[in-house]
Amino acid sequence: MPIERKTKPAADRPKKGTKPKAPANKRAQVYSAREDRSGGRSPIVHTAAKSEAAPVKKAQPESAAPVRSYAKADSARKPVKKAPAKKKPARFKPQLSAKQKLHLAAIAAVLLIAGLIVGGYFLTKVKSITVAGNSRYTAETIINRSGLYTGRNTLLYDLDEAKKRIEEDPFLICTGIRRVFPSGLEINVKERREYGAVAMTGGNYCVIDDTGYVLSVGKRESLDGLIPIYGLSSMGFSVGTRIDMDKSKLRPYTVMEMITALGENSYKIREIDISNASNVKLVTTDGVTVYLGDSIDIPSKIQRMFKALAKVDPAKASSAIVYVNTSGTTDLSYPTAAPTETPEPAETPEPSETPSGNE
């Protein structure tokens, strides 16, 4: 069965292009916003009475802006949330592999070492050279002998070679050369002092220090301050050696034993004579003659000699004679008549030595 559509009469239909009119019998509600004390909103309804004669409001043209009505007051508006600030995009950081990091570390280490070397070269350039321990020699003389000079890096010097050059002089002992940071060198020396003069053939003397080190060989105009040593003239000595190097030679060894035993009291001795190896002779600065017998137990005999010298009468010292026996006894005598001066005795061979003098 077909459905019938109900249609309005043509008179009731709205014309094209116009809005339909509101019915007169319909309530029109108008809302206005009013704030109450509690902060809320309450609508107020305005009711218009039914009246067919009431004028109908003209429809507003479509181009007019619609009328706004607010349900809430401005004071109750929700705060507008600000949009979060945009983060700057992170910069791209290249990631290095372990091998690349190792290469960079090696390059940095090489550059650092190179910088230290270059900087250290200029910082450690020698600007001053000093000398300590010298008295007889001037500092300039010792520096010239060493071959050291300023203006060169301190690490480039051969200090051992410089020490050898200094000790080519028999009177000098180089105890060390040290680097003084940042730009200095210090040379420490010790000077050997003349102690005794060994009488040699032809009027020559072999000058030695207190260790038996030969300082010079030749003629001497004066022996002031030196102890003459007789009895070793047939032996050949050279500069830079020791007189007791050959332990098979008894006499030089005995001389060194006496020098060591005398120690700081050597100034009291004026002469040493070992020409007769069986009866070693000493003469003091006071003129006392001392006989030590053979070369056995020399240190003990020297101690007993000084005890006997303490008992010598100063008025008779030039004629006093002290005998230090091997048995341990010590004799002190004053001959009535001073013995006449006799020529220097000829050297007698030791029991173990041959008359031909192979010393």
118 pLDDT above the threshold of 90: no
Q: What is the pLDDT of residues 220-277, one digit of tens each?
A: 888 999 999 999 987 888 999 999 877 678 889 999 999 999 999 999 999 999 998 8
- Total number of domains in the chain: 2
Q: Which domain holds residue 167?
A: 123-191
- Give the CATH number of the domain where residue 141 resides: 3.10.20.310
Contact criterion met (CB below 8 Å) for 324 and 293: yes
Q: What is the pLDDT of residue 103?
A: 83
Pair (325, 224) in one structural domain: yes
Task: Note whether residue 167 is domain-resident.
Answer: yes
Q: What is the pLDDT of residues 346-358, one digit of tens each?
A: 555 554 443 333 3
Q: Tokens for 251?
A: 């006499």
Pair (201, 324) in one structural domain: yes
Q: What is the pLDDT of residues 271-297, one digit of tens each?
A: 999 998 889 999 999 999 999 998 889
pLDDT band, very low/low/confident/very high, at 134 (cuts 50, 70, 90): very high
Q: What is the pLDDT of residues 149-172, one digit of tens each?
A: 998 888 788 999 999 999 999 999
Phi, psi of 175, rounded to the nearest 5 degrees: -80, -10
Task: Note whether residue 245 is domain-resident.
Answer: yes
98 pLDDT above the threshold of 50: yes
Pair (256, 167) in one structural domain: no
Q: What is the pLDDT of residues 16-53, one digit of tens each?
A: 555 555 554 444 444 444 444 445 454 544 444 444 45
- Domain end call among 191, 209, 236: 191
Pair (228, 298) in one structural domain: yes
- Domain end call among 148, 169, 191: 191
Pair (161, 220) in one structural domain: no
Q: Mean pLDDT over all residues of the chain?
A: 77
pTM of the full predicted structure?
0.59
- Give the CATH number of the domain where residue 274 resides: 3.40.50
Pair (182, 306) in one structural domain: no
Q: What is the pLDDT of residues 168-222, one digit of tens each?
A: 999 999 999 998 888 899 999 999 999 999 999 988 999 999 999 999 999 988 8
pLDDT band, very low/low/confident/very high, at 148 (cuts 50, 70, 90): very high
Task: Note whether residue 292 is domain-resident.
Answer: yes
Pick from 90, 150, 108, 147: which is nearest to 126 by CA?
150
